[in-house]
Chain A
Amino acid sequence: DADVTQTPRNRITKTGKRIMLECSQTKGHDRMYWYRQDPGLGLRLIYYSFDVKDINKGEISDGYSVSRQAQAKFSLSLESAIPNQTALYFCATRASGGNIQYFGAGTRLSVL
């Protein structure tokens, strides 16, 4: 089983819909991150969390919200999806005191 699991893997939705992307991990890491990836732009940080009670905005948080339900779970929500949120979304984890990020397989989201 994957250490960092994202669901769903693919999602097509319509403008204005609320959707949630989920991430769970079995690595026991405190730190979790949500990124989006667009062609030519690389990975951009949306939100990050250093523990259950610590949530921080990244560089592109507008239009997104997150919930850290437990150490192992970190969900990303799009309150009202718009077409320019069409992208590949990745969840990642990192151990406190560690340097390496471990990524999930990604969710490909299309907003029509």
Chain B
Amino acid sequence: SQKIEQNSEALNIQEGKTATLTCNYTNYSPAYLQWYRQDPGRGPVFLLLIRENEKEKRKERLKVTFDTTLKQSLFHITASQPADSATYLCALEDGGFKTIFGAGTRLFVKA
């Protein structure tokens, strides 16, 4: 079955640095991959979508890469701020209009 792996350990970085989160998947070739942000006690919120024919996608301080050969996506936050502290979820579609989510990586940005 389709499996998504994200680093379960929290990522701690200093304000102003670039945060890089990793998403690896197996047993599928998704047409696109998504990243969501989730704050404590809240539902996930969509951030970015990258398609299989796109190598990189940017939105303000966010950048996502998608390597279909490695079956990996990297999510970068440049010039990170304490307000970026949250859990970030990777997600892909299983081909049946169902979205599969990774367990998420918790990011802490220290001032």
| Chain B residue at minimum C-beta to C-beta distance from A100 | B46
A57 to B3, CA, bound (A): 19
Q: Which of A35, A40, A99, A101 contacts B103 (CB 8 A)?
A: A40
**Chain A positions 40-56 with a Cβ under 8 Å from a chain B Cβ:** 40-43, 45, 48, 50
Interface of A is mostly: strand
Q: Does the CB pair B89–A99 fall under 8 Å?
A: no
A54 to B89 Cα, complex, angstroms: 28
* Stretch in A69-77, A78-86, A102-110 with 4+ CB within 8 Å of B: A102-110
Q: Shortest CB–CB separation between residue A29 and chain B, in angstroms?
A: 12
In the complex, which residue of chain A has the Cβ closest to the Cβ of B44? Answer: A103
Across the interface, do B49 and A106 meet the contact criterion of CB distance under 8 Å?
no
Given contacts A99-B49, A99-B93, A100-B49, contact A42 B43 (CB under 8 A): no
Known: A40-B8, A100-B49. 4 other contacts (CB 8 A): A42-B103, A43-B44, A43-B101, A101-B99
